[in-house]
Amino acid sequence: MRVPGRLVAEALRSLFKRRATILYPYRELEKIHLPEGFRGRIEFDRAKCIGCQLCFRVCPAKAIEMIEDEKGKRPIFYIYRCIYCAQCAEVCPTKAISMSKTFENIALRKEDLVVR
């Protein structure tokens, strides 16, 4: 089987060009462009939370569970269920919930993907 000459020429040209992708793990974080409004991992500030349960009610993925602790009710976020819609952050009256720019959710156990 013969390989067309154009294919070989293109392969040789591409062999010496700069790479088009960023290698993982990211050594060049400054080259990663995250657009404005990017919704990454949930961040939760317990000190601001008033236990209103609005986040629990609006979550379409049922990724939020309310528990009782020494300061009253508070949410637990199951990141492995989250669909990153940010409805919880939008509805929070005290802005205790926010969406970070962290886009890597790597864990060996799903218990590690819980925000308390």
Instruction: Report pLDDT for 116.
Output: 86
Dist CA 88 CA 55 (whole Å): 4
Instruction: Report pLDDT for 94.
Output: 96
In 10 A of CB 44, how many CB atoms? 20
Can you say how many angstroms the Cα of residue 21 is from the centroid of all Cα atoms in its chain? 20
Dist CA 32 CA 103 (whole Å): 11
Q: From the first residue on, what is the mean pLDDT of each consecutive set of 10 residues in the chain (116 residues)?
A: 76 83 70 85 94 96 94 93 96 96 87 90
- 102, 52, 101, 111: which is closest to 77 by C-alpha? 111
Domains of the chain, start order: 35-115 (3.30.70.3270)
Instruction: Report pLDDT for 1.
Output: 56
